[in-house]
Amino acid sequence: MMGLLERLFRRGKVNSRQIAKDRLQMVLIHDRSDLSPGMLDMIRDEIIALIGERVPINREGVVFTLEQDGRESRLVADIPLAPRKR
């Protein structure tokens, strides 16, 4: 009975174990690459500006992520081009 009640109350609430794991994975991506979140934002803005000078891009759709491959990190930029205006 207790177990059931507990589960009902917990439902919808992410447990601290999962939060700890998610936070660790995020912080370690930055630790390992020696790239702070602020620096990543700067790089992102510079890349967008550089590419935007040459070709129209859809700025809202730009996604920058640091992905993990084993113990290595990878910076992935997804930059949608804007449809060409005739």
Partner 1 sequence: MTGRVITITSGKGGVGKTTATANLGVALAQLGHKVVTIDADVGLRNLDLVMGLENRIVYDLVDVIEGRCKLRQAMIRDKRLEGLYLLPAAQTRDKTAVSPSDMVLICDELRSESDYILIDSPAGIERGFRNAIAPADEVIILTNPEVSSVRDSDRIIGLLEADEKAAPSLIVNRIKPEMVEKGEMLAIGDVLDVLMIKLIGIVPEDEQVLISTNRGLPAALANGSQAGQAFRNIARRIGGEEVPFLSLERERGLRGWLKRAVGSR
Q: Residues, the chain, total?
A: 86
The least distance separating partner 1 from the CB of residue 14, rounded to whole angstroms, comes to 9
Return all residues near 59 (Cβ < 8 A) that are at least 6 apart: 48, 52
Stretch that binds partner 1, among 25-33, 38-46, 48-56, 58-66 (CB under 8 A): 25-33
Round to whole Å and give the CA distance between 4 and 1: 5
The least distance separating partner 1 from the CB of residue 10, rounded to whole angstroms, comes to 8
Task: Please answer whether residues 38 and 49 qualify as being in contact, where contact means their C-beta atoms are separated by less than 8 angstroms.
Answer: no
Round to whole Å and give the CA distance between 76 and 66: 6
Q: Which is nearer to partner 1, 20 or 39 (CB)?
A: 20
Instruction: State yes or no: residue 12 binds partner 1 (CB under 8 A).
Output: no
Task: Give the 3-state secondary structure of residue 51.
Answer: helix
Among the listed residues 21, 55, 80, 81, the single contact to partner 1 using CB under 8 A: 21
- Binding residues vs partner 1 (CB under 8 A): 10, 15-18, 20-21, 23-25, 27-28, 31-32, 68, 70-71
